[in-house]
Amino acid sequence: MKNRILAGSVIASFLLATGLAVFPHGAAVAGEDDHVEARALLRAGKILPLATILATVQKRVSGDVIEVDLDHEDRGWEYDVKVLTPAGRVLKVTLDAKTGVVLKIKDD
């Protein structure tokens, strides 16, 4: 079963700037208590902070982050980060949310 949480670049930028780290599991649309759930996932060590994930992505792909998803897959949590490259391509970078390891990079 796959659960997906979507956050736009504005939310991702806000979270990065404020130190909030993650997006929660459980609903397709962000709710008022998502930050509480997100912090619980981070404190439980189930996911890395968004700032850490974005730093890893920017080491691998240059461009602007335009979307961030946090998905709960059968094998665990994964971040999907979409990046608009200077050449105008959109790349999707998938990372293990607990370890930060890049699992794949593909055109989106």
Mean pLDDT by 10 residues, the chain (108 residues): 46 43 40 70 92 97 93 88 97 97 96
Q: To which H or E segment does residue 27 belong?
A: none
The count of domains in the chain is: 1
The strand ranges marked E within the chain are 3-8, 64-73, 76-84, 90-96, 102-107
- For 74, phi then psi, to 5°, come to -55, -35
Domain extent, residue 15, equals: 3-107
What SS3 state is found at 104?
A: strand
Q: Could you tell me the pTM of the whole model? A: 0.71
Query: What's the pLDDT at 50?
Result: 93
Compute the distance between CA of residue 41 and CA of residue 63 in angstroms, rounded to an integer.
Answer: 28
Cα 5–Cα 75–Cα 36 angle in degrees, nearest 5: 40
Q: Looking at residue 14, which CATH number applies to its domain? A: 3.10.450.40
Q: Give the pLDDT confidence score for residue 31 in this predicted structure.
A: 58
pLDDT of residue 27: 33
Instruction: Give the three-class secondary structure for 108.
Output: coil
Helix axes 9-18, 50-60, angle to 10 degrees: 120
Report the pLDDT value the prediction gives residue 101, as an integer from 0 to 100. Answer: 97
